[in-house]
Structure 1
């Protein structure tokens, strides 16, 4: 028994299966995680190695180069880049998309084990980049007052954040970690007076040793006495600062020397690595990171609930306030809500089109049921394939919502034609089976175009996997609905008389009569009465709805009849002049393709998230307080301007790395900072940008970069790579190239990675003189590190907190070059020796960092594009680079987003050709012909021409989003041609001649073709309008599909019939006509 026959004969079975699918679909929906984007497995690894005290040149030679040489043979490695800066090496490994990153990580770890590094260099660590490792929620913990907080207040604030707030937040389900930035961290500092310590011959090492020895609790064993066992413990940990000050160090001149005799002990704070401010006021930034598989929206709600509970329980001190400054779930919820609303609106518009064409309520409802049932069934498959609900998967549902009724329309339209002279069951079965092959082929062609996406390299393949799976699942579900549920519901149409006939009352007498009669009435007549009442109410409502919409239907009928007559006349004239018609259509398409070079080109559209940032970088050597002052000046630009302040919702600044979990190579050091600006909904960002740019330009020595939070990890739009060996020549070429870009108004935010680095005081030892005093370079270097930078000798216990005890020289002994030269390097010896007696101290300035790309030294010049598209910007940069007179040993090339774009476009072009080939395979199998699928495929270039015209008129960029739309379009536009050609072949097999079959098939299939086209177009229309969050990603695809489908359908109604007539004249012999 075929599927269609089973559906007609076993309606209850089909109904129960449908209910089961709906039930499990709703259960699956509740368990599918909600995220902003699919899980993007970026094929990158970073090897980070710390080399304390190492200059960029030393880090390059001793760390970066050996690691590069060992990792260069890792399988699948496409690019290797290293960044060597003071004290740290980052080696970035970029693999081919699709690489198994788990295996790549194991391979890299094996290679790292073979790298031989100097003993004083720390072990390399391997980092995996993951865009999900951005905080999902940011809080600012500050004070309720407008007064600047004191040092004590900032220390208390940081302590509360670490000891109380952080622990409360880390216990929230779905929160993986909590990072803090800003405020002041407690530290006990022992500041040694160099002169007094030298006069008493007390070395710094002795002080650290005595601190460790005195600050200790130990177990002394057990004692049994008086029938009891006692544990002996020596409790000697420091309880207050006086305990530290009173430590005995040694004896001099028969007098005990205590720590307070040569040092000052004070409760201070650690050197700051970040300063956070909200609206100009210092605060502690609290960043919350979610677990890898956690639902972002649910985690955000849990955080908000926890904060409300803390406030209600008064666990947050009254003089503190906790403000949310960033919530990723807001954008996610808004973007997903927009996609959901677009899908609902598209479905409603599709139902309107169906009703206008069918003009009957019940058939409209039957067809419209395909939308919710197919979508809910799709949730089962999404859950099974571990696809999250994100912008792309929900976008796939919104894209498919108009196509889900296509199969049902074709089936129901054919059933209605058979019902004119057949019973409902026979019409449902025969009508469905007649078009089953055609709709299966059309569905398979649409599904087949998504298979080539597995061959797409770059982010496009990763990004659109979820969308491809969603559309495929939904279309497969709609096909099953069209082949089972639609004929089952259509076969239920019975005559009123037959429906109301009831079986006669069974004969009975006596007590059996009185027993059976009530049961018969309850079980036989009551359901019939209820059903009759429901049908009556339904018919009344349907009649009222039809009565209300009757004027609209009459107007639509008049318009459609005019269009139908016009099409029939135009078709007859076109068939008589088929060659001329084809020529006109092809020339029109060629004119559209001529617009292609004028389309702007981009990798991905920019997404407006209502937020932007300004990254600033000061001159090397700048303190974190200087960076904080610059950021504060930028914040004042907003605060002091009422117009800007009204447009800005909030702003906050971070000087230093702060709580960034995965700080990028350029986001480190005291000279780096960021101003984050969150705009009010609908506010124009341009005036704020202009005001901040003008202010930055007036601050000397500050480089700035304007940008928006990135959903994807891409290089800057314009990156010029200059390769060579000589660092001085590289820096000269980079500065020269940057000047060329800066003189061109197309480019802005120009940055050069090779600048003067941190000012250094280089100490060169005289080995001969060191040996005279019995000293070594290692001993003196360690002594200098302790006196200048300090060493943590022990920890002070306060409740369950541990506070570092730092030992270093007092500030007056380490403030200048002269102080460094006068450092005593042999404390405790009979004759004091200053550093200048055995070493030269020379001020030097080295490079800020040394970048190597594919094991060649490289200078990078980066820029943003002020106006125009990426393609035009790259062309202009290439022209400027060609005009720049670079040194002979320096080579330059354009990199950046252009490389990613070219790679993605090339693979997408291949995917498009492969999709067209797969469509041909499906159609050739369906028609058992090599010829008919070929002229059906002519609708694909027609659709491409329409897409280009639509993109040109709408001013939409040509991006990978548009390319995906074109690939999907290749599977959609052939569906109408398949239905048309399939009907032509059926009529010819019935004996009609070529021209009559073409004309009659075109007339019969005009209505379903227009219905399917309009339902798809109107289903996509809410996406194409491009309103709401994330519209920049959704709209280009919808525009390309709508324009291509409209253009292709209108021309296909003439092009395919004319082409069929011309080609069929030579290819098919009239054997079917004779047989008929």
Structure 2
């Protein structure tokens, strides 16, 4: 072919083009972002709206339902979920992958602007992330070691100081980091000016708390008064009336009367205090302030963490010398380690593939030509990744690792044919062109069969589609580049292998002009060829020494390998001859193996995606409702001290810290995630990752003795996935929903298969409910809405204004005195109309009682649901789903209620269905390519028998290694369908060629088997050994790579062994007339 001839004649041009591709590839690689996986979390937006004083049922009616109806019609919305909490509504929108989130935000804001919500509610806030996701990074701000007991207890002044440092020096700079969605501070004490009103004195002067708030708000203001021109000067007029001290606040005049003015100090105590604590953070037993960073929903974790660290390095020097900022959690560490492990596995696999090539070829130069296809194809693929906007993740890099063993396949075939052409007497340059041209069509078709399996990826939905897309593009790019290398660079290098140094032609002109021309030619040769060779001579000699040393080391191994392969060749031909005489037993054996594999298949578990062992987990502890924050802190500290007292356990820990209260949970419900909630956070040393199970058992032993406590374990969420098993019970009657959900919860708890069984409908904290008698209130001329706000203002308080100190603003909270709101009787005795001469107590117009209401109301796609969730104690997801289906079938449902199994099982069903369709389409496309290549409908059908043979090996490999079937294993099966047919193509193509040359069917089949045994075994082993490090790896992130590697290795090995016997048998069966031949392939493999 002309381009192959061009390549052999223009080696410098081809070399420069190769260097250019490599240069751009390295630049592209340096700009690729690092991520653990392709984005598996649906793009999300959360609309957060607050309505002070509203219960969950009111929040649902007034906020959640109207917002759901307004935004549910936005384009590309996949699902609408809402959680109605006390005083807050969170409506989360899940969008389809690929949605332009900037435009989605604009669409959401447009719908919200047209929505009419209660005037008492705050303006909805649109968060570009899911609040239920874990932060990507946490720091602990604490006093430095050496403070002794003072450091452990940290008095109020120290905790206030830590909180101020966190807010002023840490939070503000970090909020400006690109990609950071929110910075949450927890722990410490937050400054607050408290105005504690004496309700009796307030009633004495006939004033209300609302009047106190209004006066404080009015007096604390700086107002611009315009401009005054006087002569040539211009002056700004400003009224400066902001509070400068607490005394000024105390001297605020509430009302001026004829007899006297009423000051704030007359009816209230004004003091500097701190807000009610929401969390107590302890790092290594010492109180600290926790700073948590959340990323935007579509942000890159590693890049954002790098920017956070850079910003921390900038302001870290400004921290006081006695304060330290200690990293508690860094999600990027695990991601980097997982990426590094994939890179190491790919390098190891490449080296093993090259070793196999050398053992077969036993020629350093030939091995180098074949091996050079690997780095060139890989680096060139980085250009494709950068252009497509992909990242370096364990799936894209796993695609490179998968392709490494296959990148040499085309090169091996091309070089072998060049060698055969050279042996027939052709000069090396001509043999390179002829040999490469003869197999160009065949290797192209062979590569296209592998590439074709990736086209159906456009039909793959769900998580499988996200995982498959990156890998498909990377493998496709790498294989196409390897094909280009095998048909351009390889023939060029092969043609130069033994080329002699250029000399001056013998018929050159002699004479002065001829000698001058010859001298110029020699000078030009020395300048442009000898000088570079001289500069490279030391490196060449070094490589020769290394090659000689490696040759000496590998020579014994190569000799053993050659003897072993020679023995295999001697035994294979008689085996093939016997198989052709006993076709029925061979086919029955293959069918029996396939049936045994199908019988084994149901015994292999199924799951969506393997869980990650990150070396970090947390125990989420829930004490009985009503437990105060201090009690929760004491319980967690007791557990932490017991762990520290165990020398063996403490040796495993890299860090541990406890969070009592809401902590950094942006989705926390103050009812269920409040003072009685806490976490024990554990970070293991890398060498102790395998001890995670033992540590969990030890921690559970200590948690079990906490009175009335429940707990569950969780790991940091690298991406948003639902609980493995979720039962959604939909309906509108909360009582019926609660009854059915509780029944299912008890049945799940009774089964040993399920653990961490929870329901979203749990009773909230004991609450004091005020039920107004509206008729009685109306008779007294009272407005119940005003009364409800007044009760809330006394009990909870209201921020009237903000007190400025420097550039800091502190809330000024107006609230009833503590002694007048301490218990139920105090609430009943509240005077609800202190501005009236006829006082009315709350108990006279309302029923004030203790009650427990729902803590939250969840809705999915505009319907109330209660979700019963569970994890698996043992077994696999498929078995768990089967058991739940039986439970649901045995549970009678009242009219108006419905159930469905959701969670990961729902996503798994979508992904498995899509992958099954993709596999069928991949097989069909492979058939189309082969039919086009062979110009036959029968021969491709014969080759497709390699796919069920590969399934035998894949199923047994998964079963014997204890692996389960998940989306990664199914992706491996699809890839396998494109790989295994290459061996059949190589074999059948040569059979057709030999038969076209006149050989009979049986001799042609035996000769083809003998001739193609070496390249088939060689390409199989390079692929298998290229994947072997990935299959054997036990390092970070290996869980998600191993199923694919195991599937491909098992399927390829078994398929290769059976292909060499079964395919010849099937071919002779379908070839009814031994003398008739199908149309041979236009460019058969040699």
Give the shorter-chain TM-score range.
over 0.9
CA distance in 1, matches of 2:772, 2:297: 51
Which runs of 5 or more structure 2 residues have no equivalent in the other structure?
1081-1086
Conserved 8 A contact 1:90-1:665:
no
Q: What is the CA distance between 1:154 and its match in structure 2?
A: 0.9
Q: What is the CA distance between 1:849 and its match in structure 2?
A: 2.4
Conserved 8 A contact 1:621-1:757:
no
2:587 to 558, 582, 585: 582
Deviation track 1:210-231 (CA, whole Å, cap 9, x = no partner) reads 2223222233444455754443
Deviation track 1:851-878 (CA, whole Å, cap 9, x = no partner) reads 3445554332222211121222223333
Determine if the alignment matches structure 1 residue 244 to structure 2 residue 245.
no
Partner-residue secondary structure (3-state), 1:268? strand
Partner-residue secondary structure (3-state), 2:790? helix
Q: 1:542 to 1:606 in 2, by over 3 A?
A: closer
Q: What is the CA distance between 1:199 and its match in structure 2?
A: 1.6
Q: What is the CA distance between 1:489 and its match in structure 2?
A: 0.6
Counterpart residue number, 1:53: 53
How much is the aligned-residue C-alpha RMSD, in angstroms? 3.1
Determine if the alignment matches structure 1 residue 787 to structure 2 residue 794.
yes
Determine if the alignment matches structure 1 residue 408 to structure 2 residue 411.
yes
Counterpart residue number, 2:570: 565
Deviation track 1:281-308 (CA, whole Å, cap 9, x = no partner) reads 2211112345778764455445445545
Partner-residue secondary structure (3-state), 1:419? helix
Q: 1:1071 to 1:623 in 2, by over 3 A?
A: closer
CA distance in 1, matches of 2:187, 2:508: 88
Partner-residue secondary structure (3-state), 1:189? strand
CA distance in 1, matches of 2:818, 2:671: 30
Conserved 8 A contact 1:657-1:667:
no
Which runs of 5 or more structure 1 residues have no equivalent in the other structure?
none
Q: What is the CA distance between 1:72 and its match in structure 2?
A: 6.1
2:186 to 181, 186, 204: 181
CA distance in 1, matches of 2:830, 2:722: 47
Conserved 8 A contact 1:143-1:321:
yes
Conserved 8 A contact 1:403-1:1012:
yes
Q: What is the CA distance between 1:537 and its match in structure 2?
A: 8.0
Partner-residue secondary structure (3-state), 2:447? helix
Q: What is the CA distance between 1:607 and its match in structure 2?
A: 0.9
Conserved 8 A contact 1:200-1:252:
no
Conserved 8 A contact 1:189-1:265:
yes
Deviation larger for 780-789 or 1039-1048: 780-789
Counterpart residue number, 2:968: 961
Query: Could you state the TM-score of these two structures normalised by the residue count of structure 1?
Result: 0.93
CA distance in 1, matches of 2:376, 2:670: 50
Determine if the alignment matches structure 1 residue 424 to structure 2 residue 428.
yes
Conserved 8 A contact 1:42-1:130:
no
Q: What is the CA distance between 1:921 and its match in structure 2?
A: 1.1
Counterpart residue number, 2:729: 722
Q: What is the CA distance between 1:46 and its match in structure 2?
A: 4.4
Equivalent residues in 2 for 1:283-294, closer than 5 Å: 283-289=288-294
2:215 to 210, 224, 244: 210
CA distance in 2, matches of 1:294, 1:902: 28
Q: What is the CA distance between 1:623 and its match in structure 2?
A: 4.0
Counterpart residue number, 1:1044: 1051
Conserved 8 A contact 2:671-2:765:
no
Deviation track 1:567-588 (CA, whole Å, cap 9, x = no partner) reads 1111111122233322222222
Determine if the alignment matches structure 1 residue 28 to structure 2 residue 28.
yes
Q: What is the CA distance between 1:518 and its match in structure 2?
A: 6.4
Q: 1:1068 to 1:726 in 2, by over 3 A?
A: farther
Q: 1:767 to 1:605 in 2, by over 3 A?
A: closer
Query: Could you state the TM-score of these two structures normalised by the residue count of structure 2?
Result: 0.92
Conserved 8 A contact 1:182-1:285:
yes
Counterpart residue number, 1:376: 379
Equivalent residues in 2 for 1:521-600, closer than 5 Å: 521-524=522-525, 527-528=529-530, 531=533, 534=537, 545-600=550-605
Q: 1:232 to 1:131 in 2, by over 3 A?
A: closer
Deviation larger for 731-740 or 1046-1055: 731-740
Counterpart residue number, 1:457: 461
Q: 1:504 to 1:282 in 2, by over 3 A?
A: farther
Partner-residue secondary structure (3-state), 2:1071? helix
CA distance in 1, matches of 2:941, 2:301: 48
1:951 to 946, 958, 962: 958
Counterpart residue number, 1:859: 866
CA distance in 1, matches of 2:1079, 2:158: 95
Deviation larger for 936-945 or 462-471: 462-471
Determine if the alignment matches structure 1 residue 317 to structure 2 residue 320.
yes
CA distance in 1, matches of 2:884, 2:376: 53
Q: 1:287 to 1:1052 in 2, by over 3 A?
A: same
Q: 1:71 to 1:622 in 2, by over 3 A?
A: farther
Conserved 8 A contact 1:714-1:897:
yes
1:149 to 126, 129, 154: 154
Partner-residue secondary structure (3-state), 1:940? helix
CA distance in 1, matches of 2:772, 2:672: 34
Counterpart residue number, 1:466: 470
Deviation track 1:942-964 (CA, whole Å, cap 9, x = no partner) reads 10110001111111111111000
Partner-residue secondary structure (3-state), 2:153? coil
CA distance in 1, matches of 2:568, 2:780: 106
Conserved 8 A contact 1:276-1:655:
yes
Q: 1:929 to 1:108 in 2, by over 3 A?
A: farther
1:439 to 443, 446, 449: 443
Counterpart residue number, 1:1056: 1063
Deviation track 1:37-82 (CA, whole Å, cap 9, x = no partner) reads 2234616554444332222233334444445556666666665544
Conserved 8 A contact 2:943-2:981:
yes
Conserved 8 A contact 1:33-1:294:
no
Deviation larger for 943-952 or 146-155: 146-155
Q: What is the CA distance between 1:544 and its match in structure 2?
A: 5.6
Equivalent residues in 2 for 1:197-236, closer than 5 Å: 197-223=202-228, 228-236=233-241
Deviation larger for 84-93 or 825-834: 84-93
2:277 to 272, 280, 301: 272
2:839 to 814, 832, 847: 832
Partner-residue secondary structure (3-state), 2:852? strand
Counterpart residue number, 1:327: 330
Counterpart residue number, 1:680: 685
CA distance in 1, matches of 2:1006, 2:802: 93
1:1014 to 1010, 1021, 1040: 1021
Deviation track 1:504-535 (CA, whole Å, cap 9, x = no partner) reads 886454xx899778655533357459759958
Counterpart residue number, 2:86: 86
1:608 to 603, 609, 613: 613
Q: What is the CA distance between 1:173 and its match in structure 2?
A: 6.6
Q: What is the CA distance between 1:930 and its match in structure 2?
A: 1.0
CA distance in 1, matches of 2:182, 2:757: 35
Determine if the alignment matches structure 1 residue 1023 to structure 2 residue 1030.
yes
1:493 to 494, 497, 514: 497
